[in-house]
Amino acid sequence: MPVDFKSPVERRFYGAKTHCGHCDAEGGPDRSLMKCAGCALAVFCSKDCQKAAWPEHKMWCRSSNLKNGARMVELMEHLKILSTPTGLRSPLPPPSRAGDFASAMSVTADWRKFFEWHQLTLMDILEVSQRLAYTPRNLDLLRRGELLAQCHFSPVKPSAQPNPANSWYLSHWEVTPAATLLQEHEDFVVEWERQRPMFMKLDADLKKEHGSRYIGCLVMVNRCGVTIEMVLRPIYAAPDPKLLAHQQTKDALSDLLEFFVGCVNTGVVRKRDAADDDAVKPGKLHRIKGVKSGKTSWEWRPLPDEQDDVYRDVLKSRKYTPKTDFKLVPLCYFKDSLSL
């Protein structure tokens, strides 16, 4: 059953700025709405409404009461976030840790730490997904800034040593027109309208800088529990668009996509080589404890294995048999050649 994002609870969760977070009164010229200073998401029409809403609102605002974890799980399940999405393309994820979160803000902060480590790989996932979904219709949507890559993430408890790079699981992704999501989810409408002007400005700047080489920005819509995060990935024209229709190209990109998703889901962090910006090395995070402060931090270290061994092991974790015999480095260079 599709989620009904028209309810007051879900409007409040996704930061709808049009209705009071308690009485659901609609704001307007005669009724101003005040933003909550704690989360900067919910709005209220009066201090009385804000006070009355606090018993519920504190669950996802900035409360540190871990007893609220059960309520977070309850709401995530209500929003169909923890259930297996239609068209699952990944092996079953590790156990969920949704109950560890006390607030929606803590979910967002946790996911952003994960994103910071995997940003390079997630951007590569977007690029490859767009190449694989190349059609004249999608190309037109991309030029208009109306093509999305919707990604579903779940917070998980990894079997290996937990760290920010293996704390979330990408279970499903699909390239889709913005209109589809706008029709299905009212929560997305609010965020889309809020960020659209910024997207258009960036699009105009990139067109001015790169000319016809630049096609448009693919919008990554990250659905991570009770929050939505959006990221842009500029896409540049392929020297020979006909090459994207070749089966060998599709097979090579499919192999690479599976590897990228496997890296994200197993905590393999890909990082550019300081000595060669064109080269990317796979690595893992290691816990570092400060001698004086005692605080824990994370340090990236390259894996000692050969890159092709890492490639093979990651695909094995995906239970995926590669469609081509290409090794990892030639595959990555091939991907890059499609954007020159």
Q: What is the pLDDT of residues 44-66, one digit of tens each?
A: 899 999 999 887 776 556 543 43
Scanning the structure block, which residue is given the tokens 């599976």?
Answer: 258
Angle at Cα 258 formed by Cα 254 and Cα 261, nearest 5°? 135
Contact 172/91 with Cβ under 8 angstroms? no
Give Cβ neighbours of residue 67 (< 8 Å, ≥ 6 apart). Answer: 102
Parallel, antiparallel or unpaired: strands 43-44 and 34-35: antiparallel
- Distance between CA atoms of residues 229 and 220, nearest Å: 8
Tokens of 27: 């704001």
Q: Residue with structure tokens 């259930």?
A: 83
pLDDT at res. 304? 92
**pLDDT band at 310, cuts 50/70/90?**
very high
Mean pLDDT of 25-52: 82
What's the token pair of residue 90? 């990944």
Whole-angstrom CA distances from 78 to 7, 203, 226 are 12, 36, 10
The 10 Å CB-count burial string (b at 16+, else e) for 177-196 is ebeebeeebbbbebbbeeee
Give the whole-angstrom CA distance, residue 141 versus residue 61: 36
Instruction: Kindly indicate the confidence band of residue 74, based on its pLDDT and cuts at 50, 70 and 90.
Output: low
Position 24 scores a pLDDT of 80
Whether residue 106 contacts residue 224, with contact meaning beta carbons closer than 8 Å, is answered with: no
Lowest model confidence (mean pLDDT) among 75-84, 232-241, 301-310: 75-84
Counts of helices then strands in the chain (DSSP H, E): 10, 9
- The pLDDT score that the predictor gives to residue 238 is 87
In this predicted structure, what is the pLDDT of residue 59?
A: 57
Give the pLDDT score at 314: 96
Total residue count of the chain as it appears in this document:
340
The pLDDT tens digits for 228-250 are 788 888 999 988 888 999 999 99
What lies within 8 Å, CB to CB, of 155 at 6+ separation is: 96, 97, 98, 100, 101, 107, 110, 111, 167, 168, 169, 224, 225
Q: Which residue has the tokens 């999305």?
A: 148
All residues at 6 or more sequence positions from 108 whose CB lies less than 8 Å from its CB, including other chains: 224, 227, 229
Q: What average pLDDT does the segment 26-51 reach?
A: 82
**For all residues of the chain together, what is the average pLDDT?**
81
283 has a pLDDT exceeding 90: yes
How far is residue 218's CA from residue 214's CA, in Å, rounded to a whole number?
12
- The structure's pTM equals 0.75
Contact between 148 and 176 (Cβ < 8 Å) = yes
CA distance linking residue 148 with residue 309, whole number of Å: 33
Measured CA to CA, the distance from residue 257 to residue 279 in angstroms comes to 18
